[in-house]
Amino acid sequence: MQLENYILGNWIKGDGDGQTLYHAVTSESIATASTKGLDFSTVLHYARQKGNPALRKMTFQERGLMLRALALHLREHLPKFYQISYQTGATKADSWVDIEGGIGNLFAYASLRRKFSDQPYCIDGEYHSLGKSNTFIGQHLLIPKEGVAIHINAYNFPVWGMLEKIAVNLLAGMPAVVKPATVTSYLTEAVVREIIRSQILPEGALQLICGSASGLLDHVDAQDVITFTGSASTGQKLRSHPKVLSENVPFTMEADSLNAIVLGEDVEPGMPEWDLFLREVKKEMISKCGQKCTAIRRIFVPENKIEDLQIAIGKTLQDVVIGNPLNETVRMGSLAGLEQRKEVKEQLQKLLASSQIIYGSLDIISVLDADGNKGAFMSPILLLNQQPMSSTAVHEVEAFGPVSTLMPYSSLQEAIALVKLGKGSLVSTIVTNNTSTATDYTLGAGPYHGRILVLNRTCGRENTGHGSPLPVLVHGGPGRAGGGEEMGGIRGVKHYMQRVAIQGSPDMITAISKVYQPGATGITDGIHPFKKYFEELEIGDQIITAKRTITKDDIDAFADLSGDHFYAHLSETDFQGTMFDNQVAHGYFIMSVAAGLFVDSYEKNPVLLNYGIDELRFTKPVYAGTDIHVRFSCKEKIPQVKKEDADIDKGIVKWLVEILDNENEIVGIATILTMVAKLNQA
């Protein structure tokens, strides 16, 4: 069987036989892959001209719902994906992380749409007044780039590697060309076939290349974005491509790194942290047969516990059943192929020049329900290096398999120094129940890491683990780890958008951004905004309320009602040496009065409920005798999707609340959120 490439809206085979792909467990030939004859210039042009405009026209809400629909569709085909995944040597647990973890990223970024506007672009941060009269302001916009996201992925996660990246660029409004590592590309191809079959994505939003991508980067331009996951050496070669440099193409690299786990000096045998440490080391050594960019490669423990931990880790590894991942009793499958096993053993030889094997064997392995000679099986290998400060290989050489090195340290500061010798890692774990140890380690090792897990008894049950990148958190790291970052919630979306600073009048910036800016001209049509349904509201709909005088009795009554008897709110206080002239009104009382002024409560209206308050600030004291009023403006509208047919169809409306005093100066400002019914809703 020859894998096909999905390009230009069609499934196309490359010329010739191409590269042969093998079953990781049996070493039988299962497919070939070729890109020979493909015109990569045309592939990228198609994405820019077909997929990009289609995605750019969609709003964040539409793109998010598209991701959700795609995730639901892929979930219907899990059995098929799992069966193919076994051919990569992955166990059921390994496949779950790859397949369902990848689909989980789609769900996560689908939900993230709620953080964005109902427009194809969005504002980034707060506005800036650039003049005394606020007639000239500045704002930042994030606009989808007009290029294509090129994803060059590693072989260890053929599904997650693709889905975690495209979830982000699709939400941002950019198409993708995915180039999976050829050795496991047959699983990626199976998932892409279902994506294309679903017809959920607009044409041109996703293309797939199975095989060599030589020459692809010759055709990139400044509007494109490149992401790479794999070895640091390959990443550096791609990042220094002449076209990438000349066009200043953004290049995000996530490289394999020598991630470390550190056992705190406070942890003793019998403590929950001791068991958590052992569990994490074992899991990271055998998960995906050690083929994880986040796997633990270096294990640092207090020197007085080195012997105890050598024995303890060995015992935890003894019950690991290695073999055919289709057998439910197997806990560790094989490497992705014989070539990968060969590479791991070559790297191991370099490590053995300064370390010794204390668990496992390079040659002897017991395999269940499979042929250990034909499959790419390998024993977990635990090494011991007694002189980590003077050794270099252990901090520079990575055996990308079930291989870790145990090393002693004499103090926390030495542990931090040892971790830094890795020259930048994706993740590190500190296992401790001591807050000072956790703080010192985080601050000391933090500049060299993209993520740090602080593991103790409190989070032991819920923690997602050392090796689990999460959609809402940054995945990446400095130095050897590549210097880039992926995912990270909103942070990741911004990588695929151009940040543009715009300057102009509040009216002009409001019109462009579709978000009401302070100082813009309001729309006053005589109809209270609370009487309008979601679709009827316009950005800038505004009322200027009547005034209300704040009295001493009001302030005293609110103090008694709320129980807030802070000295500034009491008339008998001696105000000499304070920030106030005399008794000042509670900020929350002023906000409550503001609500009384702008809320139209005399009859039933489309506003269903108050959803919350954001960015509330009290900017000037309000004393008894002050008249206040409110400028109340429709700031932004975000539709919601009904979870059930019986739900009321509604959306979230953000309102800018500006509370002004006798001198027309702002004394309080906030954004309130309401749920507003759509038309034809009771």
Segments in the chain below pLDDT 50: 682
Domains in the chain, CATH or no CATH each: 44-254+491-497 (3.40.605.10), 259-481 (3.40.309.10), 522-677 (3.10.129.10)
- How much is the pLDDT for 643? 82
- Inter-residue contact 395 to 417 (CB < 8 Å): no
Catalytic residue among 254, 265, 273, 486, which? 254
Prediction pTM value = 0.91
R_g over Cα of the chain: 30
Catalytic residue among 122, 210, 289, 293, which? 293
Distance CA 206, CA 527 (A): 47
Question: Each residue of 57-72: pLDDT tens digit?
Answer: 999 999 999 999 999 9
Active site residue 254: yes
CA angle, 156 then 162 then 164, to 5°: 105
The 8 Å CB, 24+ separation contacts for 72-79 are: 73/194, 73/195, 73/198, 73/200, 74/103, 74/106, 74/191, 74/194, 74/195, 75/100, 75/103, 77/194
- How much is the pLDDT for 344? 95
Parallel, antiparallel, or unpaired for β 5-7 and 10-12?
antiparallel
- Inter-residue contact 403 to 348 (CB < 8 Å): yes
Distance CA 85, CA 98 (A): 9
- How much is the pLDDT for 681? 57
